[in-house]
């Protein structure tokens, strides 16, 4: 899966919650950025959910990433490792140029995973340990953004400070939290470790010819609509050899994507299910990759996925 979308991505720039204290943090979530001279020099006006007016005294420079809470929300806190949904505008602090703009009406939101390996570290520092409903401004130091090289594709010059103004709209679950369901005969067995990562054991039997799905945990969140955008954790193995061919867990972050962009069996496994659920799906070749090989998946493979449904838009 690609890393976080648009200018928040740490490599390509191509569009691809546990409680804590917003001020002092806790053992679970300790803020790594605070207000400083750079953020205090910014002028940001406008309410949460409306397009902000931002004045940047260019050139704005900082050697450390700083953040300033413009208005604090009252929702649950978000912390490192979670995937959250934000409205965001991004600026080049060197020139004041708008690099990316949002309508701030939830029509242009994006999913951001609060992981330094999935998203620019400065963006993570700007957003972690804050409540949902917060508007925050941040000055991201070059070392936490694009460094000495800048990013010509994004229009960011060398050693440029990046300025962001973001609304934290919502957050996804960290793992499926639904009620355990009875095991279904004929399905692979699934054992979760203490982090919720599934281990899958395929039975030594011929693969079923038909698509099958079973609910391992039943969540009580919103129902996933056909073609929806979802945030999930998943592990996939091939039935024939029980080898993992892909897993979001090993990448350190959930994946967010539209169900119109995945193999049909994966979409069918999720559509109609509820957020907080964990499902296991057996996907025959006709609903997977057919008679074409794909990466580590041999042609004609029956696939098994265990999927945690963490959020849907």
Q: Which residue has the higher pLDDT, 12 or 119?
A: 119
Q: Do 41 and 78 belong together in one domain?
A: yes
Whether residues 167 and 184 fall in one domain: no
Q: Kindly report the CATH number assigned to the domain that includes residue 290.
A: 3.10.50.40
Last residue of a domain, one of 148, 171, 194: 171
- Domain span at residue 276 reads 179-312
| Mean pLDDT computed over 251-258 | 87
At residue 115, the pLDDT reads: 87
Q: What pLDDT shows up at residue 253?
A: 83
In this structure, the answer to whether residues 245 and 137 fall within a common structural domain is: no
How far apart, in whole angstroms, are the C-alpha atoms of residue 159 and residue 157?
Answer: 6
Quickly state the pLDDT bin for 3 (edges 50, 70, 90). very low
Confidence (pLDDT) at 107: 87
Residue 249 lies in a domain: yes
Q: Please indicate, yes or no, if residue 1 is contained in any of the structural domains.
A: no
Same domain, 263 and 282: yes
Lowest pLDDT segment from 60-64, 80-84, 205-209, 211-215: 80-84
Is residue 289 domain-shared with residue 226, that is, in the same domain? Answer: yes
Is 157 within a domain?
yes
0.75 surpassed by pTM: no
Average pLDDT over residues 84-92: 94
**Does residue 7 register a pLDDT over 60?**
no
Task: Write down which residue in 171, 191, 223 finishes a domain.
Answer: 171
Report the domain count for the chain.
2
Where among 139, 171, 203 does a domain terminate? 171
Q: Are 38 and 86 found together in one domain?
A: yes
Has residue 21 got a pLDDT over 50?
no
156 shares a domain with 46: yes
């Amino acid at each position: 899966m690609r890393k976080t979308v648009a200018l928040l991505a740490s490599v390509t720039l191509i569009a691809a919650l546990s409680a804590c204290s917003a001020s002092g943090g806790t053992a679970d979530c300790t803020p790594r950025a605070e207000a400083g001279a750079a953020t205090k020099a910014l002028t940001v006006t406008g309410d949460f959910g409306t397009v902000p007016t931002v004045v940047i005294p260019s050139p704005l420079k900082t050697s450390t990433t700083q953040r300033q809470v413009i208005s604090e929300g009252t929702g649950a806190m978000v912390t490192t490792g979670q995937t959250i949904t934000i409205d965001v505008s991004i600026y080049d602090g060197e020139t004041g140029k708008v690099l990316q703009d949002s309508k701030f009406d939830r029509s242009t939101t994006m999913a951001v995973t609060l992981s330094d390996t999935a998203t620019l570290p400065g963006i993570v520092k700007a957003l972690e340990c804050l409540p949902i409903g917060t508007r925050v401004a941040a000055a991201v130091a070059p070392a936490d953004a694009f460094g000495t090289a800048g990013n010509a594709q994004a229009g960011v010059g060398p050693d440029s400070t990046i300025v962001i103004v973001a609304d934290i709209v919502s957050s996804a679950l960290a793992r499926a939290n639904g009620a355990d369901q009875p095991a279904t005969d004929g399905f692979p067995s699934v054992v979760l470790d203490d982090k919720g990562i599934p281990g899958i054991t395929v039975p030594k039997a011929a693969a079923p010819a038909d698509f099958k799905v079973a609910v391992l945990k039943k969540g009580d969140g919103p129902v996933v609509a056909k073609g929806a955008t979802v945030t999930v954790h998943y592990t996939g193995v091939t039935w024939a050899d029980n080898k993992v061919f892909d897993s979001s867990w090993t990448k350190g972050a959930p994946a967010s994507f539209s169900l119109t962009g995945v193999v049909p069996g994966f979409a069918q496994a999720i559509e109609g299910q509820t957020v907080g659920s964990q499902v296991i799906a057996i996907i025959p070749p006709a609903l997977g990759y057919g008679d074409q090989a794909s990466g580590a998946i041999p042609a004609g493979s029956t696939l098994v996925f265990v999927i945690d449904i963490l959020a849907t838009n």
